[in-house]
Amino acid sequence: MAAGLRTFVDIDATPERVWQVLTDLPAYAEWNPFVTEAEGTFVEGTRLLVTVPAGSALLQPRLRPTVLEVVPLRRLRYRSRLDRWGIPGLFDVEQTITSSTRTAVCACGCRTASVACWQRH
């Protein structure tokens, strides 16, 4: 991605644990304040349903991102359009295994705040 936001976090957890949390979409509301409800599965070509808090200035209440790429333990990519503004969005999460007990995660795109919230989980 040429331009956009990039957020990095080093997580004291195994790659398997990080992947488990990132792919448990219904549990996103437990650790991500930007999501009130989420459903679906991370399968390439499928659409997810993500509900954001009421009153968000930039987002409509429900997003329908399309899953673009799933590489277990390495990468999640999904894209959604911010219909209110007609802006396409792209969100990438890439895991880098730094040891058997640590994982670095990079979130790149329009909606990067969720990875910063990871530390609460």
36 close to 53: Cβ distance less than 8 angstroms:
yes
Residues 6+ apart with CB under 8 A from 56: none
pLDDT for the residue 33: 83
Q: What is the pLDDT of residues 50-88, one digit of tens each?
A: 888 877 645 578 888 888 888 888 888 887 766 555 555
pLDDT for the residue 25: 93
CATH number of the CATH domain containing 13: 3.30.530.20
Q: Which domain holds residue 86?
A: 5-120
Indicate the helix (H) or strand (E) that contains 68: strand 66-71
Over the chain, what is the mean pLDDT?
A: 73
- How many domains is the chain built from? 1
49: nearest Cα among 37, 33, 58: 37
pLDDT band for position 90 (cuts 50, 70, 90): low
pLDDT of 19 strictly over 80: yes
Q: Taking the complete model, does pTM exceed 0.75, yes or no? A: no
pLDDT for the residue 73: 84
